[in-house]
Amino acid sequence: MSVSSALGAGPDGELPALQISGLVKDYGRVHAVQGIDLEVRRGEVFGFLGPNGAGKTTTIRCILDLLRPTAGRIEVLGLDPRRDGVAVRARIAYVPGELRLPERQTGRQLVGSIARLRGGLDASRARELAERLGLDLSRRMRELSSGNRRKVALLLAFLSNAELLVLDEPTNGLDPLMQHEFLRLVREEREAGRTIFLSSHVLSEVQRAADRVAVLRAGRIVASGTVDELRGRARQRVDVWFSNKPPTEELAALPGLEAQLVEGRHFAALLSGPIQPLLEILARNPVVSMLVEEPDLEEAFLDLYQAAS
Amino acid sequence: MSSVGRWAELVVGPFRSSWRAGVGWTIAFVLIVLSTVAFWPAFKGSTALAAAFQALPKGMIEAFGLQDFASPAGYLRGGLYELIVPLMFAAAGVLFANSATAAEEDAGRLELFLAQPVTRRAFLTARTLAISCWLGVLAIVVLASQLASDAAFDLEIADDRIISTIVLCALLGQFYAGLAIALAGVLGRPGLVLSVGLGLALVGYLVAALFPLSDVLAPWRQISPWAWALGGDPLVNAAEPWRYAALAGPALVLALVGIAAFERRDVRSA
């Protein structure tokens, strides 16, 4: 059986998992989301990055039809969440960022309750997930730590067999071991053909899990692409030790190179853009050694923010 | 799973979080009925009490339902069904409605459930049904307590008068629950639902009880749902059918307004 037929994708299997065009959401005078366009392909892990207050949760709540957009269009698996809300939510699993669960219910009761609303429960899968997450389902929500409550929500999401998992800050409160287990579960879901929309402000998590990323700032997407593309846009730190005095005038004229340090024969700079022009200058000058640091996503992220602001 | 199972979960779900409140109200209703009827033998046929009440202004006697206090109907009216029981039903209606809707939304606990394949209409309709069920259960509790204590303390009153009065009190509770659902559906703010809902329940009583004391205001008594419910003295006279409809109809309309408003607005987050 193919992945798409296993997931019941049917004739709409070629449609994107999520398509957002011109999404705007205002709360009175507050412009929480100011025209977002993005597309999430089927079967990918899509990282939705941004600091707190960037508009990530507002966007997600519009996807689930908990909020009504001021303008714009959302399609989830080819369906309109407003018009076809029940059909859309039957194919989505959601982990809220601000997690509030019924205090007096046990994990098992909550799993049963959500399973009845979703139309069924795979009890053995629930046990397996509880074991993997180290979760005691017999305890009441009010007795659980925030991390364990998060595990309950993750269990519900991974138990659902939904085609699209929308996870808002899913590792908040999880210890590093559980974060690792979470990433394993995400990879397994992707291998099973499911799509994961992973909203987070934790860069390392997105860096490790996501195929593509959109970076949100103040309600706008300021960058999107693969993790490698994003990293490629970041400035690289370059350290060069010349045999003689560095050719500072020639280097200063190079577009995209911002000198940070000139000390004796040591020249350090931040480089944005291709490295080839710099290499051509270096080739004309005797160089003792050179160090180019690989930019990580965090650097790319901060650069994007500085550029956007 | 069938949509029947989904509906059953939507209706039964709120009971899980409200059964403690339901037990609390049950105990309160049983105690208030039993403790009031237990004193009936002391007041039965008392002429001294009737003489003491004669000294009070006529309007005040009527405002507090104290007329004919030495008769079974007069005693139950003054002791229970003029103020305490209907007020408890109104408060229960508002509190149940608030805790099942606006309070849950304000606490962010609706988020996970509304992200499931259910419509907001079905969700709030099911909660409205659950609230009505609780008020129905409380009506049965009051009726059972009343009939049992009537027998135990030798208070003789026609069962149909008691049933009719308790049903009208429960419908008054449904009316205020409907009002609370409407407020919750439109606003989603528990503070406002409670203050406006309980405030209007009290105002309704004051209008029904005090307006008759003024010749100018007396005709306006009929704007109060309390007057629709108890204005015909249902412990003495058979209540006209319109009284039931006057409470149940607006209760339903108010709940529908709340449901329609909830479908159209943003769901508040914690």
DSSP string, chain A: --HHHHTT-GGGGGS-SEEEEEEEEEETTEEEEEEEEEEE-TT-EEEEE--TTSSHHHHHHHHTTSS--SEEEEEETTB-TTTTHHHHHHTEEEE-SS----TTSBHHHHHHHHHHHHT---HHHHHHHHHHHT--TTSBGGGS-HHHHHHHHHHHHHHS--SEEEEESTTTT--HHHHHHHHHHHHHHHHTT-EEEEEES-HHHHHHH-SEEEEEETTEEEEEEEHHHHHHHSPEEEEEEESSS--HHHHHTSTTEEEEEEETTEEEEEE-S-SHHHHHHHHTS-EEEEEEPPPPHHHHHHHHHHHH-
Asked if the Cβ–Cβ distance from B267 to A104 is below 8 Å, we say: no
Contact A91, A4 (CB under 8 A): no
- Chain A positions touching B111 (Cβ under 8 A) are 66, 96, 98, 100
- As for the ipTM of the complex, it is 0.85
Low-confidence spans in chain B with pLDDT less than 70: 1-2, 65
Structural contact between residues A165 and A93, judged by C-beta atoms closer than 8 angstroms = yes
Q: Which of B5, B111, B270 sits opposite A66 (nearest CB)?
A: B111
* CB spacing of B112 vs A114 below 8 angstroms: yes
Running along chain A, 309 residues long, what does each successive block of 10 average in pLDDT? 41 80 94 94 94 91 96 96 94 93 92 91 91 94 94 95 94 91 94 95 83 92 85 81 91 88 91 87 92 71 63
Looking at the complex, report in whole angstroms how far the Cα of residue A36 sits from the nearest Cα belonging to chain B: 19
pLDDT per residue as tens digits for the range A113-161: 999 999 887 889 999 999 999 999 999 999 999 999 999 999 999 999 8
Burial of B116 (0-12, 13-18, 19+ CB in 10 A): buried
Give the bridge partners for A167, in sequence order: A95, A198
C-alpha A113/C-alpha B8 separation (Å) is 10
All residues at 6 or more sequence positions from A19 whose CB lies less than 8 Å from its CB, including other chains: A38, A39, A40, A73, A74, A75
Of all residues in chain A, the one with the smallest CA distance to B104 is A102
- pLDDT score, position B2: 63
Phi and psi of B116, rounded to 5°?
-95, 170
pLDDT of the residue at A298: 65
Residue B118 has, within 13 A of its CA and on its CB side, a CA count of 32
- Report the residue from B113, B264, B269 with minimal CB separation from A61: B269
User: What does the pLDDT read at residue A2?
Assistant: 37
pLDDT, residue A294, reads 67
The dihedral region occupied by A273, where left means phi > 0, alpha psi between -120 and 50, and beta the remainder, is left
The CA angle A169-A172-A173, to the nearest 5 degrees, is 165
Contact of A25 with A218, CB cutoff 8 Å:
no
Q: Which residue has the tokens 């259960």?
A: B137
In this prediction, residue A304 carries a pLDDT of 66
- Identify the DSSP state of B269: -
CB nearest A64 (choices: B8, B16, B115) = B115
Report residue B191: phi and psi, to 5°. Answer: -60, -45
> What is the overall mean pLDDT for chain A?
88
With CA atoms as reference, report the closest residue to A100 among A54, A150, A143, A135: A150
Q: Give yes or no for a contact between A156 and B116, defined as CB atoms under 8 angstroms apart.
A: no
Tally of CB atoms within 10 A around A168: 23
Residue of chain B nearest A68, judged by CA positions: B266
